[in-house]
Structure 1
Amino acid sequence: MSGKQRYVGVAERRARLGLRQRLAGAARAAGPEDVAASLVALHGTDPATVYLAVGARLAEPGKTVAEVERALYEDRTLVRMHGMRHTVFVFPTELAAVVHASTGLAIAAKARAGLVKNMVSGSGGRLTPEWLAEVEASALAALARRGQATVNELTEDEPRLREQFTYGAGKSYESPQTVSSRLMRVLGAEGRVVRGRPLGSWTSTQFRWAVAPPHPELPTAEAQSELLRRWLTACGPATEADLKWWTGWKVTDVRRALTAVGAVAVSLDDGVTGYVAADDADPVAEPAGPWAALLPGLDPTAMGWQDRDWFLAPSMRDALFDRSGNVGPTVWWDGRVVGGWAQRPDGEIVWRVLDSDGVGKEALAAITAEASRLHSWVGPARITPRFRTPLERELASP
């Protein structure tokens, strides 16, 4: 990470985005495993995002739902689990050990300590750490017997999961919490359980739980280096701030991993330093032609960097993001966000261009084709983003 830095301008960054994020026409993938491997992680907080993000990147999206379900629930080549920033993602199963060791352990330790503290104080000492250990062992045994189960089904086998305690007693945010809801999230962060099939369709937010498949325990530093290397390959160049935000690590962990993988420093606009993977330092050619895409809310490309000004004009943020910083559905043209889209109650896909600079007839025709492609494979499903944004709400209104 020393010596003269090569300049990587916005045009090359957008070219890399189109190719590495599987959005440019020739770069589109054959299956969901290819998409997940290329992007490292698919946001899973909103279940529909996983399918929509994959479908936008497949050369032939017609079997998106069936193929994603096969990968998640039959072949188990993809796994839905807690990862960076205590967020639910879908990863290639081969990355489960890397994610667990690099980010999950620290998050899990904090989550468990918080649960124990809140549970003991919120129950007046009635619920103890020893009691919790006994209940969770019983719940995990019941889950193993069932294979997959909802929380309600587990409470039939272990009624103590229904016990409640008061969170934030005496505070303005005081509220009752159930042991089951907090415990399952902790077990998920610890990599002991994963999300299984939903109760309803692919857009459902109600999931069954399953015992996590076994994976090796890796040294934390080794796992962090591997995760960062893969992410730089997908998203480089990226700044330290981007890496710290995406991983949720301390800056010292980011810097140690950058050194370990031999990341190459490059110069970005305004004299900012970014990093690319050691084997990815050469200039990247433009995709074969311009491309359009309709990406869902929380898409991993739109949420991949903390600094998004190089592909999303600040003037569009109020329309495309909610107050917590979650991005809604976006319309892309040749490496940048130009607007947003939504689905109306009758199933129609509607969109609006907010930044018309460079968006001519070719772009409008390509965006229209993408909207038609999306409508054709979504079929009768109705998609309402979990985190709604001003433009999406407006467009979705009949």
Structure 2
Amino acid sequence: MAAAVRTRVSNKVMGRLRLASQGLLGSGFNGVPAAVRAMTAMQAQDLQSALWAVGLRVPGAGLSDVRRALDDGSVVRSWPMRGTLHLLAPEDLRWILDITTARLVQGTAGRHRQLEITGTDVESCREVALGLVDGGRAASRAELFGAFEAAGQATKAQRGIHLLWLLCQSASLVQGPLDGNQQKFVAFDRWITSSRDLGREEGIAELLLRYLRGHGPATLRDFAWWSSIPLTEVRRAVPAVSGELVELDHDGTRYWLSPEVAALLDDGVPGQRTVLALPGFDEFVLGYTDRSIVLPPEHAQKIVPGGNGVFKKAVVAGGKVTGTWARQGNGRAAAVVPVPFDDTRPLGPAALAGFRRAAERYERFLAS
């Protein structure tokens, strides 16, 4: 059984509880790999945003620290869920792919027919790719595409990236060390030498527990969307993990979170004056199917213009998204500038001072 249900929690408090779960309040996480492992999977479609998302959760971390984790394989980047890139702990990638891949590949079957990608084509590309990265070598996307073309496999019109995606989904390849702002591809088994082995039911329960601990308060529907796992299977996993969570009733909806974060309710949840400059695509905003708790629906289009799936950088004050921000100018003239949702209500003195501290932290991150 889950711990006692709590009620009458405001949206702002719910938002601050999520900040606490995600390591965005207090001491954060102890190192880059620990932050990614605690979050389980972090959206990383935009690499530069993902690097800052990790850095925000590790006090004192610099850009070089996060890049080093990708270079040495203590953090990996692949397509485990929703057909988009995420950062994960290396030991978690294979068992998550075992849960999610079949459904994702099924969902792209129509597109692959349009691109004339067959199982024989994938096997041909697998042989070519593994030959190219044999012996621990790393290959760029361009090198892989060139090798595919030489083997008679067209790569234009997104055919090449879909072939690469399929090879990563099947744990043949994984993105490895950085080459500037791109990543090279390496052999999965060579780069990830130790993987956890979880069956489907056990794995779904593990993934559900870790999501709710790292993102809570969150709902089962939030997790089903985030993980691409059918809600019926998610519900079957609840009895296996509910004893390790706290259930919270908010406006008639059941949310779940860790006991450690729920305990903050006893003495008042911190972060009322905390101001953060979140990157685009940050899990605090993106990681839920219903974002209305922290992002007022009337302003959602300002974070995801036109609902196009591209998330802008967000200013968060006291657990609520209050605007966007941008880095304007170059060199010494560069400045991090907030853009409040409501032009008639700019940040007050305290919030503006908090944002300036957040901007200074971002600049220090980029410089180190």
TM-score, with length taken from structure 2:
0.85
CA–CA distance in structure 2, aligned partners of residues 23 and 279 of structure 1: 15
Q: Is the contact made by 1:348 and 1:375 (CA closer than 8 Å) also made in structure 2? A: no
CA–CA distance in structure 1, aligned partners of residues 8 and 96 of structure 2: 29
Aligned to 2:209: 229
Matched letter for residue 174 of structure 2: V
3-state SS in 1 of match to 2:305: coil
- With over 3 angstroms needed to count, the CA separation of the structure-2 counterparts of 1:265 and 1:357, relative to structure 1, is farther
* Aligned counterparts, 1:76-87, within 5 A: 76-87=73-84
Matched letter for residue 322 of structure 2: V
CA–CA distance in structure 2, aligned partners of residues 371 and 341 of structure 1: 10
Aligned sequence identity (%): 24
* Aligned counterparts, 1:77-116, within 5 A: 77-108=74-105, 110-111=107-108, 113-114=109-110
Q: Is the contact made by 1:41 and 1:89 (CA closer than 8 Å) also made in structure 2? A: yes
Aligned length: 354
CA–CA distance in structure 2, aligned partners of residues 335 and 299 of structure 1: 14
Matched letter for residue 366 of structure 1: G
- With over 3 angstroms needed to count, the CA separation of the structure-2 counterparts of 1:178 and 1:40, relative to structure 1, is closer
Q: Aligned pair 1:147/2:134, yes or no?
A: no
Aligned to 1:60: 60
Aligned to 2:169: 189
Q: Deviations over 1:94-126 (max 9, x none)?
A: 322332223234324555x5576345xx4xxxx
Shift in Å at residue 198 of structure 1? Answer: 3.6
Q: Is the contact made by 1:349 and 1:371 (CA closer than 8 Å) also made in structure 2? A: yes
Matched letter for residue 352 of structure 1: V
Aligned to 1:298: 281
CA–CA distance in structure 1, aligned partners of residues 14 and 144 of structure 2: 48
Aligned to 1:350: 337
Matched letter for residue 117 of structure 1: R
Matched letter for residue 336 of structure 1: K
- With over 3 angstroms needed to count, the CA separation of the structure-2 counterparts of 1:83 and 1:33, relative to structure 1, is same
Q: Is the contact made by 1:135 and 1:160 (CA closer than 8 Å) also made in structure 2? A: no
Q: Deviations over 1:311-362 (max 9, x none)?
A: 1112221222122243210011121111110122423211122258795322
- With over 3 angstroms needed to count, the CA separation of the structure-2 counterparts of 1:3 and 1:207, relative to structure 1, is closer
Higher RCO structure (Cα 8 Å, ≥6 apart): 2
Q: Is the contact made by 2:52 and 2:279 (CA closer than 8 Å) also made in structure 1? A: yes
Q: Deviations over 1:342-392 (max 9, x none)?
A: 122423211122258795322111111211221233249xxxxxxxxxxxx
3-state SS in 1 of match to 2:175: strand
Shift in Å at residue 309 of structure 1? Answer: 1.6
Matched letter for residue 74 of structure 2: T
Q: Aligned pair 1:331/2:330, yes or no?
A: no
CA–CA distance in structure 2, aligned partners of residues 103 and 70 of structure 1: 28
CA–CA distance in structure 1, aligned partners of residues 213 and 231 of structure 2: 20
Aligned to 1:31: 31
Structure 1, 297-306 or 309-318: larger mean CA deviation: 309-318
Q: Deviations over 1:211-253 (max 9, x none)?
A: 1125354311111111110010012221232122111111111
* Aligned counterparts, 1:1-398, within 5 A: 5-7=5-7, 9-10=9-10, 11-24=12-25, 26-61=26-61, 64-74=62-72, 76-108=73-105, 110-111=107-108, 113-114=109-110, 117-119=113-115, 122=116, 129-130=119-120, 132-145=122-135, 147-155=137-145, 157=147, 159-161=149-151, 163-164=153-154, 177=157, 179-200=159-180, 204=181, 206-212=182-188, 213-214=192-193, 215-262=195-242, 264-269=246-251, 271-277=252-258, 282=263, 284=265, 285-287=268-270, 290-323=273-306, 324-346=308-330, 347-354=334-341, 360-379=348-367
3-state SS in 1 of match to 2:82: helix
Structure 1, 369-378 or 152-161: larger mean CA deviation: 152-161
3-state SS in 2 of match to 1:305: coil
3-state SS in 2 of match to 1:17: helix
Structure 1, 275-284 or 147-156: larger mean CA deviation: 275-284
CA–CA distance in structure 1, aligned partners of residues 154 and 142 of structure 2: 14
- With over 3 angstroms needed to count, the CA separation of the structure-2 counterparts of 1:335 and 1:219, relative to structure 1, is same
- With over 3 angstroms needed to count, the CA separation of the structure-2 counterparts of 1:23 and 1:277, relative to structure 1, is closer
Q: Is the contact made by 1:20 and 1:38 (CA closer than 8 Å) also made in structure 2? A: no
Structure 1, 228-237 or 367-376: larger mean CA deviation: 367-376
CA–CA distance in structure 2, aligned partners of residues 84 and 289 of structure 1: 33
3-state SS in 1 of match to 2:87: strand
- With over 3 angstroms needed to count, the CA separation of the structure-2 counterparts of 1:360 and 1:145, relative to structure 1, is same
Matched letter for residue 248 of structure 1: S
Q: Is the contact made by 2:323 and 2:339 (CA closer than 8 Å) also made in structure 1? A: yes
Shift in Å at residue 132 of structure 1? Answer: 4.2
Matched letter for residue 113 of structure 2: K
Structure 1, 219-228 or 137-146: larger mean CA deviation: 137-146
- With over 3 angstroms needed to count, the CA separation of the structure-2 counterparts of 1:351 and 1:217, relative to structure 1, is same
Structure 1 unmatched runs, 5+: 166-175, 381-398
3-state SS in 2 of match to 1:164: coil
CA–CA distance in structure 1, aligned partners of residues 135 and 166 of structure 2: 20
